[in-house]
């Protein structure tokens, strides 16, 4: 127990540092690849780091002082969630902590009382509602196949999780779009200014609070890519390369979908997400019970 906690602490600190670097790099690549897909040159890869640095130096102002507390809690919880996952500890705990982090983010959006960010917060709740069942089904399938909730056990298996959990993996790929707020499902926030809700949850955030919200998105991206990579890990050392490549392919697919599909209504989002969750989970349960 003691060593587990120490492991999670070290994992969280490492995730806070490496997640920042990898997340910023991934974001920079995302913006550049998106720009190329739109026929533009795009900013430099280092651009997201400059943005964050600038936002931290802006004048501090918020409509409600508690906003900053909420957003800081959200960021810290997400870092711990990533620490739990990357330290190879409990997958279920990681999922619950990341949800709790999102709830704090919603609280931060609601705290300003602005109609734009309140509507953004409501839409964020709908997004949580859409992707949450799939995450828990993934954890259940993980337990049935591996026999434990500990992430570290996948690296001791003779076969990767994808062999028995491929239907759930397809579901997770779909959910990833909602979790990372990519285009068909970017209901609560938007990178573009043509959104009817301005920037949704981010509307009333400014300066350091906005920087923390952006950092949260980086960590979320790294965590989601980690969950994708987890499906390809096994006892062989070369599986680590396969896992990283799989995460990159999944992420590229996200960018491609982000740039090619228009935003849907929340009703469609929930029905698609729940439909896919139900189908993939049932297929996976049958598949696992047959083998």
Partner 1 sequence: MSKPSKSPWVIHYDASSCNGCDIEVLSALTPGFDLERFGVINTGDPKHADVFLVTGGVNTQNISVIQQIYDQMLEPKVVIACGACACSGGVFHSCYNLIGGVDKAIPVDVYVPGCAVHPTQLIDGFIKGLEILDKKAALMSSKKKNKQISQSSGVQAIPSPEAAEHKENSLNQETPVQKEETKRGA
Site for partner 1 in 66-105 (CB under 8 A): 68
Size of the site for partner 1 (CB under 8 A): 36
CB of 74 to partner 1, least distance (A): 18
Q: What are phi and psi of 231, to 5 degrees?
A: -65, -20
Check residue 268 for interaction with partner 1 (CB under 8 A): no
Check residue 260 for interaction with partner 1 (CB under 8 A): no
Instruction: Report the phi/psi class of residue 175: left, alpha or beta, with left for phi > 0 and alpha for psi in -120 to 50.
Output: alpha
Instruction: Name the 3-class secondary structure at 58.
Output: coil
Q: Which stretch binds partner 1 (CB under 8 A): 100-108, 126-134, 196-204, 239-247?
A: 196-204
CB of 205 to partner 1, least distance (A): 7
Q: Which stretch binds partner 1 (CB under 8 A): 14-22, 54-62, 259-267, 273-281?
A: 54-62
Q: Which of 56, 80, 69 is nearest to 107 (CA)?
A: 69
What does R_g of the chain's alpha carbons equal in angstroms?
19
Check residue 196 for interaction with partner 1 (CB under 8 A): no
Check residue 113 for interaction with partner 1 (CB under 8 A): no
287 CB-side CA count, 13 A: 15
C-alpha dist (Å) from residue 76 to 153, 157, 253: 26, 32, 29
Q: What residue has token string 């190329």? A: 36
- With CB under 8 A as the contact rule, the residue among 1, 158, 194, 267 that binds partner 1 is 194
List beta partners, residue 150. Answer: 90
- With CB under 8 A as the contact rule, the residue among 207, 217, 256, 259 that binds partner 1 is 207
In Å, the largest CA–CA distance within the chain is 61
- With CB under 8 A as the contact rule, the residue among 203, 239, 277, 284 that binds partner 1 is 203
Q: Which stretch binds partner 1 (CB under 8 A): 31-39, 74-82, 159-167, 275-283?
A: 31-39
DSSP state of 61: -
Determine the Cα–Cα distance for residues 84 and 79; give it in Å rounded to an integer.
9
Check residue 49 for interaction with partner 1 (CB under 8 A): yes
Q: Which of 49, 120, 107, 52 is nearest to 74 (CA)?
A: 107
Check residue 193 for interaction with partner 1 (CB under 8 A): yes
Site map (CB under 8 A) of partner 1, residues 148-187, x = contact: ----------------------------------------
Q: Which of 76, 68, 149 is nearest to 109 (CA)?
A: 68
Check residue 63 for interaction with partner 1 (CB under 8 A): yes
Interface residues with partner 1 (CB under 8 A) are 31, 35, 38-44, 47, 49-51, 53-54, 57-63, 65, 68, 193-195, 198-199, 202-207, 210
């Amino acid at each position: 127990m003691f060593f587990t906690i120490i492991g999670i602490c070290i994992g969280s600190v490492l995730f806070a540092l490496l997640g920042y670097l990898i997340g910023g790099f991934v974001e920079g690549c995302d913006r550049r690849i998106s720009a190329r897909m739109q026929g533009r040159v795009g900013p430099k890869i280092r651009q997201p780091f400059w943005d964050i640095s600038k936002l931290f130096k802006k004048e501090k102002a918020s409509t409600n002082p508690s906003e900053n507390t909420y957003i800081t809690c959200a960021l810290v919880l997400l870092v711990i969630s990533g620490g739990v996952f990357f330290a190879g500890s409990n997958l279920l705990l990681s999922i619950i902590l990341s949800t709790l982090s999102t709830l704090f983010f919603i609280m931060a959006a609601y705290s300003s009382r602005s109609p734009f960010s309140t509507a953004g917060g409501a839409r964020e709740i709908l997004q949580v509602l859409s992707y949450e069942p799939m995450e828990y089904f993934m954890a259940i399938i993980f337990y049935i196949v591996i026999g434990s909730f500990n992430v570290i056990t996948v690296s001791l298996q003779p076969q990767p999780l994808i062999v028995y959990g491929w239907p759930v993996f397809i579901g997770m790929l779909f959910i990833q779009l909602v979790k990372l707020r990519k285009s068909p499902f970017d209901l609560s926030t938007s990178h573009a200014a043509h959104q009817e809700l301005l920037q949704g949850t981010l509307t009333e955030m400014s300066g350091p609070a906005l920087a923390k919200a952006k950092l949260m998105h980086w960590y979320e991206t790294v965590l989601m890519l980690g969950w994708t990579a987890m499906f390809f890990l096994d006892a062989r050392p070369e599986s680590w390369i396969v896992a990283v490549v799989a995460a990159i392919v999944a992420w590229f697919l996200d960018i491609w979908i982000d740039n090619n599909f228009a935003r849907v209504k929340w009703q469609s989002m929930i029905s698609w997400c729940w439909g896919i969750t139900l189908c993939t989970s049932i297929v996976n349960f049958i598949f696992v019970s047959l083998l």
